[in-house]
Chains A and B, each alone.
Chain A
Amino acid sequence: MELGRLLRTQEILILALVIVFSTIITIVNPSFFSFENLFDLVRSNSGVAILAVGIFIVLLSGGIDVSSTTIAIAGQYIAVNVLLASGINSIALAFLVSIGVGVALGAINALFVSLLNIPTLIVTLGTSSLFHGALLEFVGSRSINSGNLPSAIKDFGRTNIIPLTRANGSEYGLSVFFLIAVAVIVLTWYILKYTMLGRGIYAIGGNQEAAERVGFNIKKIKFFIYCYSGFLAGIMGVMHVALIRTANPQYLVGSELSIIAAVVIGGARLTGGVGTMAGTILGVVLVTILEKNLVLLGLPSYWQKFFIGAVLIIGVVITYGEILTKKRKGAASGARPEIKQVEAEGVR
């Protein structure tokens, strides 16, 4: 890619924003740029990044999935309950159950999405209400706190791959969560870039009818997309309980819009077919910095939501206002702005 084009991509813009924000925060409060703070950011946001990857894949195919946080909490809560009921104290079983629940619920999403030719937002709003209601009514609504949590989950949350010691002798380090997040990111990137399935996901998002005529099996691919999103949500569910050491079936639900916001800030287009893994991760990083570190700047925490909204609006204005690409497009088809406008509206 030539340098000029590279500089106009959304990824570079976000990277620049991340650097600018980090610099400002470091100048105001140097404790931001310490291993301790950075490792802590990684530990507390790896799960969010994994969920964001699932949401990204769905966005890429032209859909939108607001049920993934519900799926994550369902996987987590059922897994913890299974561990407690069976008495088996194993993190592997927790992951197995949570992922199983995630894939199953993802399959239900997939069923409705491929069955009904209806905006996926509405379908997943319905399923998330269904899943969450069922979880709270039939599985339980009681919060399981740290004292009753299986020790395998708590130990997992404390595992570090790079252990370090503070000056006062206490330990901290780079959490194992980082490894899981990297594995998920690499796997997803590989699927998207080097497999027929991945190209199919891009193709569906670009133009479903064309993808179908070329010979992609739309239903199969969509089935994969929603099951994979559920799979990632299942992983995230266990990481989340290991992180906060409380399994509360009311947590997480409601944060899906800010994760979608992070993915969109990363440049994924809602109309599908456009977006990169790098952008998604950068979007998550940017939102994380905004969410968790405004306090370091001395801004009261009640500014968070407003800032995220503002950044999201700026992000979509840049993406859809074609501010980065306007000049080139204008030169190519400048003679008929009327048609261009109508085409753009048609896409909507």
Chain B
Amino acid sequence: MSARSIHNLALLFLLAVVILSITIVLPGKFLTVINFQSMGSQFPEFALLALAMMLAMITGGIDLSVVAIANLAGVVAAFILSRSVGTDVSPYLAIAAAVVAALSVAALCGLVNGILVAWINVPPILATLGTQAAFMGMAIVITRGSAFSIFPEEYAFVGNGTVLGIPFPLILFVIAAVAVAIVLKQSPQGFSMKMLGSSPIVSRFSGIRNDRILIKTYVFVALLAGVAALIIISRSNSMRAGYGEAYLLSTILVAVLGRTDPDGGEENLLGVVLGILILQATQSGLNILSISPFFTKFVWGAALLSVLVAMHFIPKIQKQRQVRLQKRALAAAGAEHGSKT
């Protein structure tokens, strides 16, 4: 069994433990359709940002601007939506315009990140550190520090509607996750991203256009953030700049928890999805138990560090065991050889 499947089994086990223990502590409160429906509309906005972070990490980069992109795209969409209320513009036309605007703004942001990283060779941490301030700054400037609210009623469906009992945000997330899976596992883009992540030099000399791959990656990352923005503004029915800044740490936590190598090259989409579910189940359980958010913050930090330590030592221990086994085999072979002569 590969290290990756062991890791995913461990995550699955962890998820089961979390769900079981919360169910035992809170019988009849956690394992209910309503709680699952509410979780299903809560976590997709975060999950999309986590997938975005994972994609950037696969190429050996990072995107600190995902939350800022979601804010800027959300503010732009919210602006259009709130302006359409009270006019005789059809709400569906306004919604279509808002969606197109949000996604184009996001794509543009991604393009800026991609150009900085690919053409100007700015390390992704720095490039996106700068752009996150600039994008968030733009969002603040557009809202002038306040919020846009009151959208057409029809738009509430994106964040709160259900199809056959399944929350619509969850459906959006599943579509996005499938799209990410296809890109990573089936497309040349996904293959090149992994190559580039493990060694930019090798990938360059294998004829891969590193710059194009990177730019496409950052645009894709930003588009996922744009979709998250569409859910965010619908769920809160308003948008102010600065929403969800605490998501940034959690997206990195989940990407690493899902065994995305921060140095690039390795992907484990299933692991990241499992990580998202674990995080959501824990969060929701701690919420119902009304445990302080401070303690939760402490637990996330501890969890991230423990995963890092485990990821560092488990391969080492496995290697040592292999070496020991080999030595034993050699010694046995040597003894056999000695007894023959």
Are A306 and B141 in contact (CB-based, < 8 A)?
A: yes
A343 to chain B, nearest CB (A): 8
In the complex, the chain B residue whose C-beta lies closest to that of A122 is B262
* Shortest CB distance A19–B (Å): 23
CB distance from B87 to the nearest CB of A (A): 27
From DSSP, what is the main secondary structure of chain A's interface residues?
helix
In contact, B294 and A264 (Cβ under 8 angstroms)? no
Please state if B120 and A321 are interface contacts (CB–CB under 8 Å). Answer: yes
Contact yes or no, B262 A305, CB < 8 A: no
Majority SS at the chain B contact face: helix
- The answer, yes or no, to whether B263 is at the interface (CB within 8 Å) is yes
Q: How many residues of B contact A (CB 8 A)?
A: 53
Interface string of B214-247 (1 = CB under 8 A from A): 0000000000000000000000000000000100
In the bound complex, CA of A25 to CA of B74 (Å): 34
Q: Are A133 and B298 in contact (CB under 8 A)?
A: yes
Q: Are B245 and A254 in contact (CB under 8 A)?
A: yes
Contact, CB under 8 Å: B130 / A137: no
Which among B133, B210, B295, B308 is the interface contact of A261 at CB below 8 angstroms?
B133
Q: Which of A296-325 contact B (CB under 8 A)?
A: 300-310, 312-313, 315-317, 319-321
Residues of B within 8 A of A261 (CB): 129-130, 133
Establish whether residues A129 and B249, one from each chain, have CB atoms under 8 Å apart when the complex forms: yes
Nearest chain A CB to B60 CB, angstrom units: 7
Count residues of A near B (Cβ-Cβ below 8 Å): 57
Other-chain residue from A64, A270, A345 in contact with B200 (beta carbon distance below 8 A) = A345
Q: Interface 1/0s, chain B 252-278, versus A by CB < 8 A?
A: 110010000011000000000000000
CA distance A130 to B304 in the complex (A): 9
Partner of A316, one of B127, B245, B295, B299: B127
Quick check: A260 and B133 within 8 Å, CB to CB?
no
Judge whether A128 is part of the interface by a CB distance below 8 angstroms: yes
Q: Which residues of B does A touch, CB under 8 Å?
A: 60, 62, 64, 116, 120-127, 129-138, 140-141, 144-145, 200-201, 204-205, 210, 245, 249, 252-253, 256, 262-263, 292, 294-302, 304-305, 308-309, 312
Report 10 cross-chain contacts, Cβ distance below 8 Å, ordered by A residue: A129-B304, A130-B302, A136-B297, A258-B133, A270-B126, A306-B137, A342-B204, A345-B121, A348-B60, A348-B124
4 nearest A-B pairs in the assembled complex, by CB-CB distance: A306-B137, A133-B298, A309-B134, A130-B301
